[in-house]
Amino acid sequence: MAERKNKTCYNCGCTDYKIMHKGVRDNADIDVLQCKKCGLVFLSDNSHIGPDFYENGGMIAGYSLESWINNTKIDDKRRFLFLKNKIKNKVLTDFGCGNAGFLNNAKNVCKKVYGVELQKDLYEYFRSCSLDIFQNISQIPEKSDIITIFHVLEHTKDPVKTLESLKPALSENGRIFVEVPNTKDALISLYKSKKFQDFVFWSCHLYIFDKKTLEQTVKKAGYKIEKFSYIQRYSLMNHLYWILKKKPGGHKVWAKYDFKIINILYSFILKLFGITDTMIVEISPC
Ligand SMILES: [Zn+2]
């Protein structure tokens, strides 16, 4: 058995943990641990994420740019619609902008958009979209009214430091929107789908938060919480497919049964119990 390198909780320093899942989908030697005190979920080892990992596209290895852009279209639109009124005529930076799908939506209503992305081979594509993307947030020539950081924090080795690094780039009265996956996802916490856990736990997700541990992390980084929202990305048919067929993609295979009205109600119930797949927190510096 591989030696467990991470034995103390990043969030609270506690050394008492349970093994939540043996192995992750791309590495049988890395276990998913959960702190018994605060509930933070973290990997038994994160030494595989070196300084060049994201620069060289390690996260999306094997995907073409075209299929990646297609795969994120629904989330890009959802994020845009969620923030549309708040970002109008504002200067916005998307930190860890990936394929810039969100920025390509946001640029139509913002005063100016910027992105921060480590992955080098995307820069030619960014130029073709006339987007100003930088490797480091300190290179952006002006302060931003809004900074978005979607599904990035769980990939960083030091989430508090990552959040702290955004502060100098934020204008006075600026806001940051942090979106991350939720440990309490119904497929894990309610339906306890073993196959879903085999699929979802991944060597790139170094930490998985719930409402409490996310709020503790942002407070530690010197922010106050303006608003917290639970978001459900996947539909009822996706969940039923996991439960009955033990596979992903139910929202596509059973699309004809996936009625919008049912999903609105289903999301409402999941939000009520805090067991959605996703969370967004709006924060500002203390
Ligand atoms: Zn802890």
Given the structure tokens 């810039």, which residue do they identify? 100
**Any long-range contacts for 91-94 (C-beta under 8 Å, 24+ apart)?**
91/142, 91/143, 91/144, 91/145, 91/146, 91/171, 92/144, 92/145, 92/146, 92/147, 92/148, 93/137, 93/140, 93/144, 93/146, 93/147, 93/148, 93/169, 94/147, 94/148, 94/149, 94/150
40 CA to middle of ligand 1, Å? 5
Q: Which residue, 143, 281, 286, is CA-closest to 221?
A: 286
Confidence band, pLDDT 50/70/90 cuts, at residue 105: very high
pTM: 0.94
Whether residue 49 contacts residue 247, with contact meaning beta carbons closer than 8 Å, is answered with no
Per-residue pLDDT, 54: 78
Alpha-carbon gap, residue 79 to 100, rounded angstroms: 12
270 CA to middle of ligand 1, Å? 25
Structure confidence by residue, pLDDT tens digits, 111-121: 999 999 999 89
Per-residue pLDDT, 3: 59
Q: Which residue, 212, 190, 154, 179, is CA-closest to 270?
A: 190
13 CA to middle of ligand 1, Å? 6
283 CA to middle of ligand 1, Å? 22
214 CA to middle of ligand 1, Å? 12
Confidence band, pLDDT 50/70/90 cuts, at residue 249: very high
116 CA to middle of ligand 1, Å? 30
Least-confidence region, from 2-16, 104-118, 272-286: 2-16
Question: Is the pLDDT confidence value at 60 over 90?
Answer: no
41 CA to middle of ligand 1, Å? 8
Confidence band, pLDDT 50/70/90 cuts, at residue 28: very high
Per-residue pLDDT, 6: 75
209 CA to middle of ligand 1, Å? 11
10 CA to middle of ligand 1, Å? 7
User: How much is the average pLDDT of 32-43?
Assistant: 96
Per-residue pLDDT, 2: 52
Confidence band, pLDDT 50/70/90 cuts, at residue 264: very high
Is the domain spanning 50-233+278-285 CATH 3.40.50.150? The answer is yes
102 CA to middle of ligand 1, Å? 33
Per-residue pLDDT, 56: 75
User: How much is the average pLDDT of 88-110?
Assistant: 97
17 CA to middle of ligand 1, Å? 8
76 CA to middle of ligand 1, Å? 32
274 CA to middle of ligand 1, Å? 19
Per-residue pLDDT, 58: 62
> Domain spans of the chain?
50-233+278-285
Confidence band, pLDDT 50/70/90 cuts, at residue 81: very high
Confidence band, pLDDT 50/70/90 cuts, at residue 256: very high
Alpha-carbon gap, residue 12 to 75, rounded angstroms: 32
16 CA to middle of ligand 1, Å? 8
Per-residue pLDDT, 61: 64
Question: Is the pLDDT confidence value at 59 over 90?
Answer: no
Task: Kindly tell me the burial class for residue 52, based on how many C-beta atoms sit within 10 Å of its own C-beta (0-12, 13-18, 19 or more).
Answer: exposed
